[in-house]
Amino acid sequence: MIADFSSRKVQEDGIIKEKNGFFFLLPFKIRPECSIFMKTISPDSRTFPKNRHAMKYAILSDIHANLEALETVLARCHELGVDSYLSLGDIVGYNANPHECLEIMRSLPVAAFVKGNHDEYASNGDTVMAGFNPHAKSAVLWTQETLSDEEHVFLASLPYKMQVRGTPFTAVHASLDSPADWGYIFDVHQAMDNFSYQYTQICFCGHSHVPIAYCKKMLARPGELPVDELKLWASKPDEEGMMFHSDEADEIVLPVQPGCKYLINVGSVGQPRNRDPRASFAVYDDEQRTITRYRLPYDIAGTQEKIRAAGLPECLATRLEHGL
């Protein structure tokens, strides 16, 4: 969102931040109790800084109402000096703290919120949810009941995709070629379809809960595909066809090269599915020109206890410890 400097009201209602000559209006007021997550955003930053400074963006997807995972990730983001966040959708669904996760995310300086399929079903009153398994569906029905009217309106109002002004990013939950159809990107051909609609250097996505990265080269040799899966982040299918990562490091740094476009799935904060139960997210550093993927252990037992106390399906609790 770009601030209109002719409007005093806009300046009073929001927090304005300057980056590369663009001024951003952060859409939500930041409450004092959330200040542990703030590094550079404070009431004092309503005055425009004279010097531009490097920005760190944390990219979070598929939080799925997992408060323990979200708090762990945000504490690390605070240590890392993250300035701004991208929320790639599915804040709700599956786990038992949708209200709390929404409240926290809405209190942060978020440069882009986009909608996930669970956000859509939790807010549009759909009780059929074509293609959903019964456990996912029962969690969405529970979430529909749990959220306030205002939270339904907020989730329903989110866009499917967003080009983030003043950054090299596009944010989408599923894929840019058909963002409302909730297709998955698991191979270079699906990635190529996405790149056809990608007008920024980097597109961040989620949805599959499996971290994966693709690069589109400017020039491909004859007989070569123009898109590669980046080995650094590569996952492999096991004998049952499930994607998984073995011996995965806590942090993997991907340098952003000029002349390449990137499609990056940052994995899931609240329900990782690549047989690694640790929360997954990424940070873009615009000074270093790197994207770092992090994996963090969190209090899985605490999340499981809440799932059981809420009467949600038991399999939603057990899958968390297996990363499935």
Site string for Zn ion, 73-112 (x = CB under 5 A): -----------------x----------------------
Give the C-alpha separation, 138 to 99, whole Å. 17
Rank residues 90 and 120 by Cβ distance to Zn ion and give the closer one. 90
The one-letter amino acid code at 319 reads R
Pairing relationship of beta strands 161-163 and 169-172 according to DSSP bridges = antiparallel
Query: Least distance to Zn ion from the beta carbon of 95, Å?
Result: 11
* 2-10, 55-63, 97-105, 162-170 -> range binding Zn ion (CB under 5 A): 55-63
- Binding window for Zn ion (CB under 5 A); candidates: 30-38, 54-62, 184-192, 250-258: 54-62
What is the residue type of 227?
Answer: V
Nearer to Zn ion, 280 or 304 (CB): 280
Q: Which of 62, 151, 248, 285 binds Zn ion (CB under 5 A)?
A: 62
The 3-state DSSP class for residue 253 equals strand
Instruction: Kindly give, in sequence order, each residue whose CB lies less than 8 Å from that of residue 274, ignoring residues fewer than 6 positions away.
Output: 209, 210, 211, 235, 243, 244, 245, 267, 323
CA distance 107 to 174: 24
* Range in contact with Zn ion (rule: CB under 5 A) among 59-67, 126-134, 180-188, 310-318: 59-67
Residues 285, 289, 295, 297, Cα dihedral to 10°: -20
Least separation in angstroms between residue 261's CB and Zn ion is: 24
Supply the minimum distance, in Å, between the C-beta of residue 178 and Zn ion: 17
| Closer residue to Zn ion in complex, CB, 40/190 | 190
Nearest-10 Cα torsion for 46, 47, 50, 54: -10
Q: List Cα–Cα distances, 296 to 72, 192, 244, in angstroms.
A: 8, 30, 16
- Residue 62 or 151: which CB sits closer to Zn ion? 62
From 18-26, 61-69, 138-146, 288-296, give the range in contact with Zn ion by CB under 5 A: 61-69
Number of residues binding to Zn ion, judged by CB under 5 A: 2
Minimum distance from CB of 63 to Zn ion (Å)? Answer: 9
Q: Is residue 120 at the binding interface for Zn ion, with CB under 5 A as the rule? A: no
Nearer to Zn ion, 109 or 272 (CB): 272
Cα–Cα distance, 194 to 297 (Å, whole number): 31
Min dist CB 20 to Zn ion, Å, is 32
Cross-strand pairs, 207: none
**Looking at 57-65, 148-156, 242-250, 288-296, which segment touches Zn ion (CB under 5 A)?**
57-65
CB of 8 to Zn ion, least distance (A): 40
DSSP state of 38: -
HSE (CB half, 13 Å, CA atoms) of 66?
32
Per CB under 5 A, residues contacting Zn ion are 62, 90
